[in-house]
Structure 1
Amino acid sequence: MKERKEIEKQLPQSPPPPYHVLHKLPPGDSPYVRAKHVQLVDKDPDAAIVLFWKAINAGDRIDSALKDMAVVMKQQDRTEEAIEAIKSFRDRCSKQAQESLDNVLIDLYKKCGRIDEQIQLLKQKLRMIYEGEAFNGKPTKTARSHGKKFQVTIKQETSRILGNLGWAYMQQENYLAAEAVYRKAQIIDPDANKACNLCQCLIKQARYLEAESVLEYVVHDKLPGSSDPKSRNRVKELRQELESRQPVALASTAIELNLEDAFLEGLDQLMSQWAPYRSRRLPIFEEISSFRDQLAC
């Protein structure tokens, strides 16, 4: 062992990574690079916002500067200011940046409780998918989470957006609308998180037996993410809530959903393209087709 250590000491050592790589900074010395340095190294968000403004005004990497500034503003509870900044300067950004700016804007609307605007933007993104304009016309896009890159498909993105739309309807206590889009999301790309949200939605409607049935898919590990600790904790919470209530069978009702025809048919056609051998009208559309007049989309 001693000889091995001595040999290792004599071997040439690899040079340390460059400063910008070590701190995950873009190379160079421009207004945007200085803003990122203040944000990531100096940890001074207020000063970083000022420098991001300077980068935008100087035309230096406007796409990244605007998005990064909005994210820092959100962290500083300057949400309304971030929304106005994106609306004011997004026309100076590239076409490729518009989709990511929409995602930031949706998060900002969610944080400050502007649910109606969040819903409209989510529906706009769904229409873009149907019209083939999402992902800049490509079938997948590269996303990043916790420093790791991964590929996202159109199906996954559609299901994610529908899940967010369901959450927004839940905030408005429009549980029938939330149920409709949660079920549609599960048809496209099912997972445990959306199943738990659908369960919560059914509980809100006092449809406890149906809620228990949906939850069983997570309990028996039949959906992606079922074994995740967060999912397990959520299942425990939902089961406790169900056990505290008297099960009630679903009664037939004449309630109308009012799901906008164009919106409904657009998603119907998109999903039929993904599953050409299924009937044109998928089960979820049959289920909600008699409920169209009260679901505000």
Structure 2
Amino acid sequence: MEGSSTMKVSPRKEAYHVIHKLPPGDTPYVRAKHVQLVQKDPEAAIVLFWKAINAGDRVDSALKDMAVVMKQQDRAEEAIEAIKSFRDRCSKQAQESLDNVLIDLYKKCGRLEEQIELLKQKLRMIYQGEAFNGRPTKTARSHGRKFQVTVRQETSRILGNLGWAYMQQTNYEAAEAVYRKAQMIDPDANKACNLGLCLIKQARYAEARSVLEDVLQGKLCGSDDPKSRNRAEELLHEIEPWQSATVSSVPSGLSLEDAFMEGLDKLMNQLTTPYRSRRLPIFEEISPLRDQLAC
């Protein structure tokens, strides 16, 4: 439902729009972006984004941008309700992006249960081959730059967010299971530190030390990041009094609500299996998630 302006723009105005990263034209959405980016008046911009949504002008972008500005203005609860109320006016292509904004809003508001459920929903979509419209990659944007994201990277990112949400609930067994799966498909230093913390919280110090030392030895992507290295060093210092601790046995059979994590096993296998066709293995026809969980 994205609207567009057919007005011709003079070269001078066009250069102005490029400099300020504004869309061309003189529509409600363009005026909202001008107030947001040039006049830097977020409250006025929110009002104009509302007008753009009601006018049907670039509803996909207007709703997302308004929610982001609301979050910046500590109006995250309002932003959540706005997305829930108006996302049915947006295109199918915009839904994934709106989900990402909604996850950030749930996180800011401390609404962990809703955050976890939405993250699980996104994992189910990947499992069922519904993410990225069946393609192996998608184009994402960050700070004005476009880049390609693979299904593997997206799955690991979502698992990382899910693990963090479980940690906020102090459900360290669930968080550990999630981080281990994330590390299977796209290991990095940040998630290794979180996994180490989960193990420390379960008094499994020797296992934690092994995970954290991988960061300091440069074995993982992002190991050269000073933040990750400093965090790994801090966590290792925390467990120094327990250096002689023996490796604790890994819990057998985590009793997570609805046994959701068991349903990710096949997803992990699909992501780590070599290509056998022109499509990613994850997008091959597979049994519904609930059938796998019932096994």
Per the normalisation by structure 2, the TM-score is 0.84
Q: Which residue of 2 aligns with 1:45?
A: 42
| Whole-angstrom CA distance in 2 between matches of 1:226 and 1:276 | 26
2:102 is aligned to: 105
Query: Does 2:213 align with 1:216?
Result: yes
2:146 is aligned with 1:149:
yes
Partner-residue secondary structure (3-state), 1:142: strand
Displacement of 1:255 in angstroms is: 6.8
* Residue in 2 that maps onto 1:4: none
Q: Which residue of 1 aligns with 2:70?
A: 73
Structure 1 vs Structure 2: percent identity of aligned residues? 79
Distance 1:256 1:265 in 2: 9
Q: Does structure 2 retain, via aligned residues, the 8 Å contact 1:175–1:205? A: yes
Match of 2:123 in 1: 126
- Structure 1 segments, 4+ long, off by >6 Å, are none
Number of matched pairs: 263
**Helix, strand or coil at the partner of 1:150:** strand
Residue 146 of structure 1 deviates from its aligned partner by 2.5
Structure 2 equivalent of residue 32 of structure 1 = 29
TM-score (normalised: structure 1):
0.84
Residue 204 of structure 2 is aligned with which of 192, 199, 207?
A: 207
- Kept in 2, the 8 Å contact 1:32–1:65? The answer is yes
**1:38–1:208 distance in 2 versus 1, CA, 3 Å:** same
Q: 2:224 aligns with which of 221, 224, 227?
A: 227
In the alignment, the residues of structure 2 paired with residue 248 and residue 174 of structure 1 have an alpha-carbon distance, to the nearest angstrom, of 22
Tell me, yes or no, if structure 1 residue 186 matches structure 2 residue 186.
no
The correspondence of residues 79-98 of structure 1 with structure 2, limited to 5 A, is 79-98=76-95
Q: Distance in 2 between matches of 1:261 and 1:117?
A: 15
CA contact (8 A) 2:103 2:118 kept: yes
Q: What RMSD in Å do the two structures reach over aligned CA positions?
A: 1.9
* Alpha-carbon shift at residue 240 of structure 1 (Å): 2.4
CA distance in 1, matches of 2:164, 2:148: 24
1:130–1:266 Cα contact (<8 Å) kept: no
Q: 1:58 to 1:131 in 2, by over 3 A?
A: same
Query: Higher Cα Rg: structure 1 or 2?
Result: 1
Deviations 1:111-139 (A, max 9, x none): 01000000000000000001111112221
- The aligned residue for residue 172 of structure 2 is 175
Q: Return 5+ residue gaps in structure 1 as ranges.
A: 1-14, 278-297
Q: CA deviation at 1:90?
A: 0.3
**Code of the aligned partner of 2:88:** D
| TM-aligned CA deviation for residue 267 of structure 1 | 1.9
Contact 1:207-1:247 within 8 A present in 2 as well: no
Relative to 1, partners in 2 of residues 1:57 and 1:125: Cα closer, same or farther, differing over 3 Å? same
Q: Distance in 2 between matches of 1:245 and 1:16?
A: 66
Question: Which residue in the other structure is 1:55 paired with?
Answer: 52
Instruction: Give the Å deviation of 1:242.
Output: 2.1
Give the letter for the 1:136 counterpart. N
